[in-house]
Structure 1
């Protein structure tokens, strides 16, 4: 009879404060860039898609 022993390994991935701040700032810049591009785009299809999305989410935009 053989006994199989199993060990449980848990990996803890902790991010430092500076890493979290860099991620948050990067995400904010990306989001603001996308909103700026969609809102002020001269490409009518992009602007209308953003406009319709705001209305479908019940977010008044005008």
Structure 2
């Protein structure tokens, strides 16, 4: 193999390695963003659930249905 061919082969391998690292970084960022979104959605769901329970309790109090 000529020096030029070896150099091109080396550079191609280096580029492939850099692309793999970049891909891994992007996958990690996407995974972190998805986890953060999941946590935010769970918190929002809890807040909605609590608000609905509060509204139901208030309605029961108003109608005299509270135990």
Q: What TM-score, normalized to structure 2?
A: 0.41
The structure with the largest alpha-carbon Rg is: 2
If asked which structure has higher relative contact order (CA below 8 Å, sep 6+), I would say 1
